[in-house]
A and B are shown apart, each in its own frame.
Chain A
Amino acid sequence: MTLSIAELGQFSLALALCVALVQSIVPLWGAHRGDGAMMAMARPGAVALFGLVAVAFACLTYSFVVSDFSVSVVAQNSHSDKPMLYKVAGVWGNHEGSLLLWITALTFFGLAVALTGRNLPPQLRARALSVQAMITAGFLLFILLTSNPFIRLNPPPMDGKGLNPLLQDPGLAFHPPMLYLGYVGFSMAFSFAVAALIEGRVDAAWARWVRPWTLTAWTFLTLGIALGSWWAYYELGWGGWWYWDPVENASFMPWLAGTALLHSAIVVEKRDSLKSWTILLSILTFAMSLLGTFLVRSGVLTSVHAFASDPTRGMFVLILLAVSVGGALILYAFRAPTLQGGGLFTPISREGGLLLNNLLMTTAMATVLLGTLYPLIADAFALGKVSVGAPFFNAVFVPLMVPLVVVMGIGPMLAWKRGDLRGALSRLWVALAATGLTMAGSWLYVGGTIDDLLAAFGFGLAAWLLVATLVEWAERVKLFRAPAGESLRRAANLPRAAWGMTLAHTGMALVVAGVTASSAYKGELVQSQKIGEAVRIAGYDVTLTSAATVQGPNYEAQRGIFEVRKEGELIATLTPEKRLYRSPPMPTTEAAIHTTGLSDLYTVIGDPDPALPGAYVTRLYHEPLVPLLWYGALLMAAGGLVSLTDRRHRVGAPVRKRTGAATTAAVKA
Chain B
Amino acid sequence: MSRAATRKKRRLYMVVAGLLLLGTATALVLTAFQDNLVFFYSPTDVQAKKVGEDRRFRLGGLVKDGSVVKTGSEVRFTVTDMNADLPVSYSGILPDLFREGQGVVAEGKLDRSGVFIAKEVLAKHDENYMPPEVAEALKKSGQWTGAQTDAASHKAPQN
Interface code A492-517, partner B: CB below 8 Å = 1, 0 otherwise?
00000000000000000000000000
Give the contacting residue for B133; candidates A302, A584, A619; CB below 8 A: A302
B13 / chain A contacts, CB cutoff of 8 Å: 347
A99 / chain B contacts, CB cutoff of 8 Å: 158
**Complex contact B38–A389 (CB within 8 A):** yes
**Complex contact A299–B132 (CB within 8 A):** yes
The A-contacting residues of B in range 8-27, CB under 8 angstroms, are 10, 13-14, 17-18, 21-22, 24-25
**Complex contact A399–B58 (CB within 8 A):** no
B97 / chain A contacts, CB cutoff of 8 Å: 586-587
B39 / chain A contacts, CB cutoff of 8 Å: 384-387
What is the minimal beta-carbon distance from B129 to any residue of chain A, in angstroms? 4
**Complex contact B72–A308 (CB within 8 A):** no
A60 / chain B contacts, CB cutoff of 8 Å: none
A585 in the interface, Cβ–Cβ < 8 Å? yes
Interface code A61-104, partner B: CB below 8 Å = 1, 0 otherwise?
00000000000000011000000000000001111001100000
What is the minimal beta-carbon distance from A336 to any residue of chain B, in angstroms? 14
A528 / chain B contacts, CB cutoff of 8 Å: 72-73
**Complex contact A359–B33 (CB within 8 A):** no
**Complex contact B70–A386 (CB within 8 A):** no
- Chain A residue, CB-CB nearest to B71: A611
**Complex contact B25–A366 (CB within 8 A):** yes
What is the minimal beta-carbon distance from B34 to any residue of chain A, in angstroms? 10
B70 / chain A contacts, CB cutoff of 8 Å: 607, 609-611
A356 / chain B contacts, CB cutoff of 8 Å: 17
Q: Chain A at the B interface: mostly helix, strand, loop or mixed? A: mixed
The B-contacting residues of A in range 432-473, CB under 8 angstroms, are none
A344 / chain B contacts, CB cutoff of 8 Å: 3, 6-7, 10
**Complex contact A399–B28 (CB within 8 A):** yes
- Chain B residue, CB-CB nearest to A397: B28
A92 / chain B contacts, CB cutoff of 8 Å: 158
What is the minimal beta-carbon distance from B73 to any residue of chain A, in angstroms? 5
B72 / chain A contacts, CB cutoff of 8 Å: 527-528, 609, 611-612, 617
What is the minimal beta-carbon distance from B32 to any residue of chain A, in angstroms? 4
Q: Please, how many angstroms separate the alpha-carbon atoms of A236 and B122 in the complex?
A: 11
**Complex contact A94–B96 (CB within 8 A):** no
Give the contacting residue for A367; candidates B29, B58, B91, B155; CB below 8 A: B29
A305-B125 in contact given A179-B159, A228-B159, A587-B97 (Cβ < 8 Å): yes
What is the minimal beta-carbon distance from B143 to any residue of chain A, in angstroms? 18
**Complex contact B35–A238 (CB within 8 A):** no
The B-contacting residues of A in range 228-277, CB under 8 angstroms, are 228, 236-238, 247, 251
**Complex contact A617–B73 (CB within 8 A):** yes
A410 in the interface, Cβ–Cβ < 8 Å? no
- Chain A residue, CB-CB nearest to B14: A355
A304 / chain B contacts, CB cutoff of 8 Å: 122-125
The A-contacting residues of B in range 96-149, CB under 8 angstroms, are 96-97, 105, 107, 122-129, 131-133, 136
**Complex contact A296–B158 (CB within 8 A):** yes
The segment from A125-133, A159-167, A213-221, A640-648 that touches chain B is A159-167
**Complex contact B155–A161 (CB within 8 A):** yes
Q: Please, how many angstroms separate the alpha-carbon atoms of A165 and B2 in the complex?
A: 67
Q: Please, how many angstroms separate the alpha-carbon atoms of A604 and B92 in the complex?
A: 12
- Chain A residue, CB-CB nearest to B137: A385
Q: Please, how many angstroms separate the alpha-carbon atoms of A490 and B152 in the complex?
A: 60
- Chain B residue, CB-CB nearest to A351: B10
Interface code B22-66, partner A: CB below 8 Å = 1, 0 otherwise?
101100110111011111110000000000000000100000000
A237 / chain B contacts, CB cutoff of 8 Å: 96
**Complex contact A391–B35 (CB within 8 A):** yes
A341 in the interface, Cβ–Cβ < 8 Å? yes
What is the minimal beta-carbon distance from B70 to any residue of chain A, in angstroms? 5
**Complex contact B71–A297 (CB within 8 A):** no
A164-B96 in contact given A344-B6, A386-B38, A392-B32 (Cβ < 8 Å): no
A49 in the interface, Cβ–Cβ < 8 Å? no
The B-contacting residues of A in range 570-602, CB under 8 angstroms, are 578, 584-589
A166-B156 in contact given A366-B25, A526-B93 (Cβ < 8 Å): no
Q: Please, how many angstroms separate the alpha-carbon atoms of A604 and B158 in the complex?
A: 26
**Complex contact B73–A527 (CB within 8 A):** yes
A350 in the interface, Cβ–Cβ < 8 Å? no
What is the minimal beta-carbon distance from A45 to any residue of chain B, in angstroms? 29
A610 / chain B contacts, CB cutoff of 8 Å: 70
What is the minimal beta-carbon distance from B38 to any residue of chain A, in angstroms? 5
A395-B35 in contact given A306-B157, A360-B21, A612-B72 (Cβ < 8 Å): yes
Interface code A329-365, partner B: CB below 8 Å = 1, 0 otherwise?
0000000000001001101000000011001100100
Q: Please, how many angstroms separate the alpha-carbon atoms of A272 and B152 in the complex?
A: 53
Give the contacting residue for B157; candidates A93, A341, A395; CB below 8 A: A93
A385 / chain B contacts, CB cutoff of 8 Å: 39-41, 133, 136
A527 / chain B contacts, CB cutoff of 8 Å: 72-73
Q: Please, how many angstroms separate the alpha-carbon atoms of A609 and B7 in the complex?
A: 72
**Complex contact A589–B96 (CB within 8 A):** yes
- Chain B residue, CB-CB nearest to A274: B14
What is the minimal beta-carbon distance from B153 to any residue of chain A, in angstroms? 7
**Complex contact B158–A297 (CB within 8 A):** yes
Q: Please, how many angstroms separate the alpha-carbon atoms of A553 and B72 in the complex?
A: 32
B3 / chain A contacts, CB cutoff of 8 Å: 344
Give the contacting residue for A395; candidates B31, B41, B73; CB below 8 A: B31
B14 / chain A contacts, CB cutoff of 8 Å: 355
**Complex contact B73–A526 (CB within 8 A):** yes
**Complex contact A76–B124 (CB within 8 A):** no
A11 in the interface, Cβ–Cβ < 8 Å? no
**Complex contact B158–A98 (CB within 8 A):** yes
**Complex contact A588–B36 (CB within 8 A):** no
A396 in the interface, Cβ–Cβ < 8 Å? yes
**Complex contact B36–A389 (CB within 8 A):** yes
Q: Please, how many angstroms separate the alpha-carbon atoms of A345 and B6 in the complex?
A: 9
**Complex contact B159–A586 (CB within 8 A):** no
Give the contacting residue for A308; candidates B38, B107, B156; CB below 8 A: B156
**Complex contact A387–B157 (CB within 8 A):** no
The B-contacting residues of A in range 296-319, CB under 8 angstroms, are 296-297, 299, 302, 304-310
Q: Please, how many angstroms separate the alpha-carbon atoms of A77 and B105 in the complex?
A: 26
Q: Please, how many angstroms separate the alpha-carbon atoms of A384 and B31 in the complex?
A: 19
Q: Please, how many angstroms separate the alpha-carbon atoms of A367 and B23 in the complex?
A: 12
B17 / chain A contacts, CB cutoff of 8 Å: 347, 355-356, 359
**Complex contact A93–B126 (CB within 8 A):** no
A424 in the interface, Cβ–Cβ < 8 Å? no
Q: A296-B158, A399-B24 are in contact. List 9 more A-B contacts (CB 8 A).
A: A306-B128, A309-B153, A386-B38, A389-B36, A395-B32, A396-B29, A578-B96, A585-B127, A586-B97
22 A/B residue pairs, CB under 8 Å, sorted by A: A99-B158, A175-B159, A238-B123, A305-B125, A306-B128, A306-B129, A306-B155, A308-B158, A309-B152, A344-B6, A355-B14, A366-B25, A371-B29, A387-B40, A389-B36, A399-B24, A400-B28, A526-B93, A528-B73, A586-B97, A586-B126, A617-B72
**8 nearest CB pairs, A to B:** A306-B126, A385-B40, A306-B129, A395-B32, A392-B36, A391-B36, A587-B96, A308-B156
Q: Which B residues form the contact surface with A (CB < 8 A)? A: 3, 6-7, 10, 13-14, 17-18, 21-22, 24-25, 28-29, 31-33, 35-41, 58, 70-73, 91-93, 96-97, 105, 107, 122-129, 131-133, 136, 152-159
